[in-house]
Amino acid sequence: MKIADAWITQPETQAVCRALTEAGYKAYFVGGCVRNALLRTPVSDLDISTDAVPEKVIELARNAGLKAIPTGIDHGTITVVSGHIPHEITTFRRDVETDGRRAVVAFSSHMIDDAKRRDFTMNALYADSAGNISDPLGEGIDDLSARRVRFIEDPELRIREDYLRILRFFRFHAWYGDSFGGPDPEALAAIAANLDGIETLSRERIGAEMRKLLAAPEPAPAVASMRMTGTLARVLEGSDDRALGPLVSIEHHFHMAHDPMLRLACLGGDGHGLRLSNGEKKRLQLYRDGMASVTGAAELGYRHGAEAAIGILALRAAMLEQPLAESEVAEAKSAAGREFPVKAADLMPDYQGPALGARLKQLEAEWIASGFTSGKDQLLG
């Protein structure tokens, strides 16, 4: 098994590998870039493992004319930039002590030590600069081929090293797992036995994982597993995932974007506890308010644009477990971008202050009721 993708053969990346290997050190791509390349999905981050200590990585990179940035030197990580492409280079490590949130690590010269401290078997796959795959645990390739998300060795130990791995498990299952085969039962049992550890995590870390999970093309099976283990109630109190499957089905039918905030609105619960950005909070509230309103498809399109309007309509349909009518989608799209023909200046000086606002609102309602067909003269006449 070998990787021959453009990202691994590009001269800028090969230069980074040569800076290490020509000095007698190892350079192995690891984690997401290897996993995604084997799954034929896009690769974004380039992570490299090496037996060179961070200070040596900096020295070798600079000797090769590359930019070295000590982004995580305390944890063994140096960012080496080659041709504007960042490469995260981390020294082989082994865990010395963990408290469920962070680990004390020691550098190692052995790949197997580095592999054993990772979370899932599919993330413990390595590739050299020629693309040759190494599976030091002997399980990663088989699990990846079967789309089986499985903790390395003892699931409970892996979880107790970092309780965020509970949420990472569900996120990985949503993106890479076999939804028909279901999640690994040993992992689910270990998660259910360690739910209290979630309380030790920051809301920022929890929110980041939930965003990534809810951005998956088909998150419903993973979220259902979260509910069954009790995880969903811990991270999103008061939520209910029954309408998520129907919502995702509607999204696929209408080729809608995978909007985490739309899906979060569908789940309900205390989404504000996830440390959302102001923009995310605003979008979430728009979906929730629209879902609870009786505003028609055309008016939704006019007021919020086609994408948000169709999202609200999809939420309503999913909650009722009904299909979303093509006609409603067409209405929302048709009304999006329309401009109310009457301006405040058209009503002055006859109307001022609150009376002006009330009259504009009345005329706008008449215009919407006309199907946006009434012109200014008709409305003012």
pLDDT tens by residue, 335-347: 999 999 999 999 9
Distance from chain centroid for Cα 51: 31
Asked if 26 and 51 count as a contact pair (C-beta separation under 8 A), the reply is yes
Name the nearest CA neighbour of 2 among 127, 146, 135: 127
Residues 6 or more apart from 90 whose CB is under 8 A from it? 47, 48, 49, 50, 72, 75, 76, 77, 78
Where does the pLDDT of residue 140 fall: very low under 50, low under 70, confident under 90, or very high at 90 and above? very high
Coil vs helix vs strand at 272: helix
pLDDT at residue 272, rounded to an integer? 76
Count, residues in the chain: 381
Can you list the domains of the chain with their CATH numbers?
1-146 (3.30.460.10), 150-235 (1.10.3090.10), 239-338 (no CATH), 344-380 (no CATH)
pLDDT at residue 326, rounded to an integer? 97
pLDDT at residue 48, rounded to an integer? 98
Name the nearest CA neighbour of 47 among 56, 39, 59, 37: 37
Amino acid of residue 209 = E
Asked if 180 and 220 count as a contact pair (C-beta separation under 8 A), the reply is no
Where does the pLDDT of residue 1 fall: very low under 50, low under 70, confident under 90, or very high at 90 and above? confident
Where does the pLDDT of residue 132 fall: very low under 50, low under 70, confident under 90, or very high at 90 and above? very high
- Check the CA dihedral 303-306-308-314 and report its sign: positive
Q: Which tokens in the block code for residue 282?
A: 């605003």
- What is the Cα–Cα distance from 176 to 109, expressed in whole angstroms? 30
Coil vs helix vs strand at 236: coil
pLDDT digits (tens, 9 = 90+) for 254-306: 999 999 999 999 999 888 779 999 999 999 999 999 999 999 999 999 999 99
- What is the Cα–Cα distance from 244 to 220, expressed in whole angstroms? 6
pLDDT at residue 104, rounded to an integer? 63
Q: Is the pLDDT of residue 103 over 70?
A: no
pLDDT at residue 270, rounded to an integer? 82
pLDDT digits (tens, 9 = 90+) for 166-198: 999 999 999 999 978 899 999 999 999 999 999
Segment 117-130 mean pLDDT: 97
pLDDT at residue 205, rounded to an integer? 95
pLDDT at residue 179, rounded to an integer? 79
Q: Which tokens in the block code for residue 318?
A: 């999913």
Amino acid of residue 278 = N
| DSSP state letter for 363 | H
b/e string for 37-67 if b means 16 or more Cβ within 10 A? bbeeeebeebbbbbbbbbebbbebbeebebe
Please state, in angstroms and as integers, the Cα–Cα distance from residue 139 to each residue in 101, 134, 142, 175, following that order.
Answer: 26, 11, 6, 19
pLDDT at residue 271, rounded to an integer? 80
> Is-above-0.85 flag for pTM?
yes
Please state, in angstroms and as integers, the Cα–Cα distance from residue 143 to each residue in 122, 125, 212, following that order.
Answer: 6, 11, 22
Q: Is the pLDDT of residue 97 over 90?
A: no
Q: Which tokens in the block code for residue 257?
A: 């974007």
Q: Is the pLDDT of residue 40 over 80?
A: yes
Q: What is the mean pLDDT of the chain?
A: 94
